[in-house]
Structures are given as structure tokens and as C-alpha cells.
Amino acid sequence: MKIKPILNREEMQGVDVCSIEDIGISGLALMECAARGAYEEIKKRVPRGRVLFVVESGNNGADALALARMMLDEE
């Protein structure tokens, strides 16, 4: 099954910029929402157990760290 993204990278960056600059949502709030969404999907799909996070620098790295924090807080 091939998954097709709804938005490409440039379009998603545009949504982020619009959300932050035009609507006034903080970047931190966007990051927390992204992490919470990923967390909820992981809880549905992955049996309880250990998870390894490999995180690089950048915005997605911060999202992954927020997700890791949420998963750690669950324990």
C-alpha cells in the first residue's frame, strides 16, 4: 500500500507559517499538537513496550522529543 502525502514539504511549511504569523498559534503549541497526534496513533497501533527515538536537529527533532516526553510521562 503506497501512502500519498496530503501536503508536500513546502506546502506544510506554508501552513506552519500561516498558523504562526497569520493566526497567532505559537510554534510550541503546533509542536505539542503534532506530538500529541503521533502519540495517540502510536498508542492505538503499537503494543505497550519500549520505543527507540533517533532524533536529529530541527523542527521535526523537537516534535520527536515532545513525543518521547509524552510516552515517558505515561509510564
Contacts of 63 (CB under 8 A, 6+ apart): 31, 34, 35, 38
The pLDDT score that the predictor gives to residue 18 is: 95
The pLDDT score that the predictor gives to residue 75 is: 62
Residues of the chain with pLDDT under 70: 75
The pLDDT score that the predictor gives to residue 49 is: 74
pTM, 2 dp: 0.74
CA distances from 54 to 4, 30, 45 (A): 24, 21, 19
Distance separating alpha carbons of residues 56 and 64, to the nearest angstrom: 9
Distance separating alpha carbons of residues 8 and 17, to the nearest angstrom: 14
